[in-house]
């Protein structure tokens, strides 16, 4: 083999291992499969040695984030140092005023970093609406998952300030908590009080835990790489890109399709993240609980993105006064919390509107007591599921559409140009898409006992059977794979 050939191989390897903005690391890519295989191969060597295990997984996690966002993995290190230091300083502070000062240091540092990278151009755009001489936009890269790990470290600082958590003295432990790769870029948002006690605890990984991990990884990959990606590329994106080219019934199916797509995409990521963490002996919180079975918007937010909704409740809604300062103030607090929750999802007024819709619905439910009424009556529960699902779908229109104008066009098509007669022609033209529609919604509404039974069957199967299941899932992903990479939707948040 000559030098030129060796150099060519070397360049290919370097290119593969380097950050590529067009090919970020994803759970459903071949690179991640081999990367994770290498990780687990050596993990079995260090898993019983606490410090070695922590350093090993932290380095792999930092590399994972480098493959997601390039040089911006430095932000993760800065965030770690800021909140680690703030926790120590708050605990050692002699006065309440000094303690508040150090908390302010954490808040300003984290929100400042998040604000610059995520909201600078949003604020410039909003200001330009009122200026004759508009300001120039900045070319700012949005690091993957910055909203997730910022909220994660903020919860640690606030818990230390409140006296609910003692600060982590070992920076290796804290760095591992912040950077742990399975949930780093799209959650779940993990609380320090739930995760840090696991870091140096004995690794307990029995056959049943491995089986559950396999079941979660398999189901998560199917949700994301088979159902979500396929219906997105082959149907949903086309409708949302040009709603006026399609009839109302096609637009309505596009809306239902996006509801399924975003659920399978996000819950699929969470399932894989929880499963991967479980393989390494760590337990992450559940992030979804059949959200489209919700009987009200209140119930929906107890089931959807649970780690975020509980974060907003504990660190925003309750500090604002919650329901302790009268009914009017409670409704204002709900609306404000959801408006800010909408803005967390994206730097655009459409996300603010989406949050406002949900905030208004939550306030109305509190005002009327409709949530309690629905839960006590079976016919009302069924009606509640239908109404809630369609209200959520209405919100998804603004969440997904490229602009307010596109959202209005889509809704106008549904209302004024429905043309239901083309339904069967549409189903035949997109039969594979609608097969996945049926499969996706059936899996979501399947009785809980059946779902748990399937997971239990897999977890109790021999390792050979579990391996064959994963091989079958990978084969299925390859068969349905689109031409380009389809990033997880929540990577942009």
Q: Which residues are catalytic?
A: 345
Q: Provide long-range contacts, Cβ within 8 A and 24+ apart, for 162-169.
A: 164/193, 165/192, 165/193, 166/91, 167/84, 167/87, 167/88, 167/90, 167/91, 168/84, 168/87, 168/192, 168/196, 169/88
* Assigned token pair, 468: 């064959």
Q: Which residues contact 97 (CB under 8 A, 6 or more apart)?
A: none
3-state secondary structure of 214: helix
Specify the length of the chain in residues: 493
> Do residues 167 and 88 lie in contact, with contact meaning Cβ atoms separated by under 8 Å?
yes
Closest CA to 364 of 391, 397, 325: 391
Rounded-to-integer distance, Cα 90 and Cα 160, Å: 7
Q: Which of 351, 436, 354, 401 is nearest to 239 (CA)?
A: 401
User: 135 and 128 in contact (C-beta within 8 Å)?
Assistant: yes
What separation in angstroms does the CA of 104 have from each of 97, 182, 429? 10, 29, 57
Q: What's the distance, CA 354 to chain centroid?
A: 17
Structure tokens at 477: 């992903």
């Amino acid at each position: 083999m000559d030098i030129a050939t060796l150099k060519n191989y070397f360049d290919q390897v370097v290119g593969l291992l380097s950050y590529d903005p067009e090919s970020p690391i994803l759970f459903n890519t071949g690179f991640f499969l081999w990367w994770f295989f290498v990780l687990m191969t050596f993990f079995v060597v260090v898993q019983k040695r606490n410090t070695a295990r922590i350093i090993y997984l932290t380095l792999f996690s930092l590399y994972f984030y480098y493959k997601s966002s390039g040089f911006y993995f430095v932000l993760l290190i800065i965030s770690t140092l800021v909140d680690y230091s703030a926790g120590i300083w708050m605990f050692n502070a002699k006065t309440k005023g000094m303690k508040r000062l150090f908390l302010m240091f954490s808040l300003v540092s984290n929100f400042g970093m998040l604000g610059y990278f995520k909201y600078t151009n949003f604020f410039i755009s909003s200001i330009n609406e009122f200026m004759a001489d508009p300001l120039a936009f900045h070319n700012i890269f949005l690091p993957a998952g910055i909203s997730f790990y910022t909220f994660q470290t903020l919860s640690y600082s606030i818990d230390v300030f409140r006296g609910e958590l003692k600060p982590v003295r070992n920076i290796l432990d804290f760095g591992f908590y912040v950077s742990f790769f399975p949930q780093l870029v799209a959650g779940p948002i993990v609380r320090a009080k739930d995760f840090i006690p696991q870091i140096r605890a004995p690794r307990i990984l029995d056959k049943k835990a491995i089986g559950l991990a396999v079941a979660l990884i398999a189901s998560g990959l199917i949700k994301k790489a088979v159902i979500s990606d396929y219906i997105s590329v082959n149907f949903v994106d086309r409708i949302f890109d040009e709603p006026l080219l399609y009839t109302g019934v096609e637009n309505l199916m596009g809306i239902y399709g996006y509801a399924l797509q975003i659920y399978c995409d996000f819950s699929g990521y969470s399932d894989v993240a929880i499963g991967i963490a479980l393989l390494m002996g760590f337990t992450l919180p559940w992030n979804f609980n059949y959200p489209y079975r919700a009987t009200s918007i209140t119930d929906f937010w107890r089931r959807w993105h649970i780690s975020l909704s509980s974060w907003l409740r504990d660190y925003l809604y309750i500090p604002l006064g919650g329901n302790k300062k009268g009914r009017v103030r409670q409704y204002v607090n709900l609306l404000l919390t959801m408006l800010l929750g909408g803005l967390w999802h994206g730097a655009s007024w459409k996300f603010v509107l989406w949050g406002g819709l949900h905030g208004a619905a939550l306030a109305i439910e509190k005002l009327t007591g409709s949530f309690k009424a629905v839960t006590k009556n079976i016919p009302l529960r069924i009606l509640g599921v239908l109404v809630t699902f369609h209200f959520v779908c209405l919100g998804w229109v603004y969440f997904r559409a490229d602009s307010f104008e596109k959202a209005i066009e889509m809704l106008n098509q549904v209302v004024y140009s429905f043309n239901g007669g083309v339904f069967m022609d549409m189903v035949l033209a997109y039969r594979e898409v609608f097969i996945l529609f049926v499969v996706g919604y059936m899996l979501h509404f399947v009785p809980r006992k059946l779902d748990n039974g399937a997971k239990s069957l897999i977890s109790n199967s021999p390792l050979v059977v579990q391996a064959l299941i994963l091989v079958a899932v990978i084969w299925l992903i390859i068969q349905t794979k689109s031409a380009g990479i389809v990033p997880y939707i929540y990577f942009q948040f």
